[in-house]
Amino acid sequence: MNTFGNNYRLTTFGESHGTAIGGIIDGCPAGIEADTAFIQSELNRRRPGQSALTTSRNEPDTVEFLSGLYEGRTTGTPIAFLVRNRDQHSKDYDAMRNLYRPSHADYTYQMKYGIRDPRGGGRSSARTTIAQCVGGAVAKLALQPEGITVRAYTSQVGRIRLDGTYRDYDLTLTETNAVRCPDARKAAEMEALIRRVKEQGDTVGGVITGVITGVPVGLGEPVFGKLHAALGAAMLGINAVKGFDYGDGFDAPLYLGSEHNDTFCNDHGRIATRTNYSGGIQGGISNGEDIYFRVAFKAVATLLREQQTVDRDGRETIINAKGRHDPCVLPRAVPLVEAMAAMTMLDYLLLMKSR
């Protein structure tokens, strides 16, 4: 399945070492200002080689729009785009052509399709998420006139984590450091950890927190199209994601019902809640409060050290991975979490408007 969404739809194509990554956006409203500089800036946030914390693969990741835009605005027709691959080192994978890399998709792709592209993981590579970032950037532009804002930040790397909630931080500081954490002291600790892990040929995971503000009441389609379920599906479709929760999530069992209920109040004529343990969603429908959620990422599976594995014939052997890889996916995954959330919100907003 290579299409995401129902009303706002993104179909993607391409492989890590192929000619290009691209996509077609269908269902985008007409007349949206197509700020191509903003779209490119979103791609720049996820591009490789942007800091010492990321892979050294040097890709410009310049987006080319082929259709669907005219005089700086969307036309309501399909928006086709390409991002060409420029810096492939496919020979790095020659020795791994017949080996299964631990915790990658090599084995499952081979068993399912009977063939796979071993160069950088082919279609299963996180490089293909370029297309999601373009789709998400266009969705952000469509959400702007509606007053809906999507932000994300790194809230944990390894065992180093931020205290409190998103309300305790100035999220405008997220882009002031390479790890994309709004707390400068914690960011320095996270960066130091990533550097140490990288020197050891190892990798480390963490958590990204997402925050959506300006959401109207009523987004979500119970019982099987609940808004939080859609956000969860979007996040779990991202490479290396192992978990998702929203509101107080897995902390909810710590509270009694009398402690956990979000009681209603009249906030200057607007019905609101005094607390927001629900994370802005009740009964699968947005209630007008901020939506906040967490996305857990595992450590990157490619280690620059020897590991045990098997070859295609089942013979046990040793793999010594080559190539250029991130020691921690978190810094470059922040814009991707935002992109998937933005596309989900626009998809559900368009559905509500169609009623």
Q: Where are the domains of the chain?
A: 3-353
Residue range 316-335: mean pLDDT, rounded: 89
Share of the chain above pLDDT 90, in %: 81
Residue 324 has pLDDT above 90, yes or no: no
Give the whole-number percent of the chain exceeding pLDDT 70: 97
Annotated binding site for NADP(+): which residue ranges? 46
Query: Residue 170 carries which DSSP code?
Result: -
**Is pLDDT of 234 > 90?**
yes
Q: What pLDDT, in 10s, does the model give residues 238-287?
A: 999 999 999 999 999 999 999 999 999 999 999 999 999 999 999 999 99
Which residue ranges are tagged as binding site? 46, 123-125, 239-240, 283, 298-302, 324
Where in the chain does DSSP place strands (E)? 3-4, 9-14, 20-26, 63-65, 69-70, 73-74, 79-84, 149-157, 160-161, 206-213, 241-246, 264-267, 270-273, 281-282, 285-286, 291-297, 306-310, 316-320
Mean pLDDT, range 308-327, rounded to an integer: 88
Is residue 187 classed exposed, middle or buried when 0-12, 13-18 and 19+ CB atoms within 10 A define those classes? buried
Nearest Cα to Cα of residue 39 among 102, 131, 118: 131
**Amino acid (one-letter) located at 138:** V
> What's this model's pTM, rounded to 2 decimal places?
0.95
Q: Which residue has the tokens 């490789």?
A: 48
**240: helix, strand or coil:** coil
In whole angstroms, how far apart are CA 196 and each of 57, 190, 296, 305?
Answer: 20, 10, 21, 15
The pLDDT of residue 90 is 58
CATH number of the domain located at residue range(s) 3-353 in this protein: 3.60.150.10
d(CA 209, CA 27): 28
If you average pLDDT over residues 99-118, what whole number do you get? 90
Residue 170 or 19, more confident = 170
Residue 10: pLDDT over 80: yes
Residue 274 identity: R
DSSP tag of 239: T
CA atoms within 13 Å, Cβ hemisphere of 209: 27
DSSP code per residue over 97-130:
TTBPPTTSSHHHHHHHHS----GGGGGGSGGGGH
| Phi, psi torsion values for 95, nearest 5 degrees | -70, -15
Would you call 21 helix, strand, or coil by DSSP? strand
- Binding site members for FMN: 123-125, 239-240, 283, 298-302, 324
Distance CA 150, CA 33 (A): 18
Task: Convert the pLDDT of each residue in 52-104 to its tens digit.
Answer: 888 777 788 999 999 999 999 999 999 999 999 987 665 666 677 889 989 88
Q: Which contiguous run of DSSP H or E holds residue 197?
A: helix 184-199
Q: How far apart are CA 230 and CA 75, in angstroms?
A: 27
| pLDDT at site 218 | 98
Instruction: Determine the average pLDDT of the residues in 135-148.
Output: 98
| Confidence bin at 17 (pLDDT 50/70/90) | confident
C-alpha gyration radius of the chain: 21
Q: How far apart are CA 276 and CA 253, in angstroms?
A: 15
| 195-221 mean pLDDT | 97
pLDDT at position 118 over 70 = yes
Res. 316: pLDDT tops 70: yes
265-277: burial string, b at 16+ Cβ within 10 Å, e else: eeeeeeeebeebe
Mean pLDDT across the chain: 94
pLDDT above 70 for 217: yes
> φ and ψ at 21, to 5 degrees?
-110, 140
Q: Tally helices (H) and strands (E) across the chain.
A: 7, 18
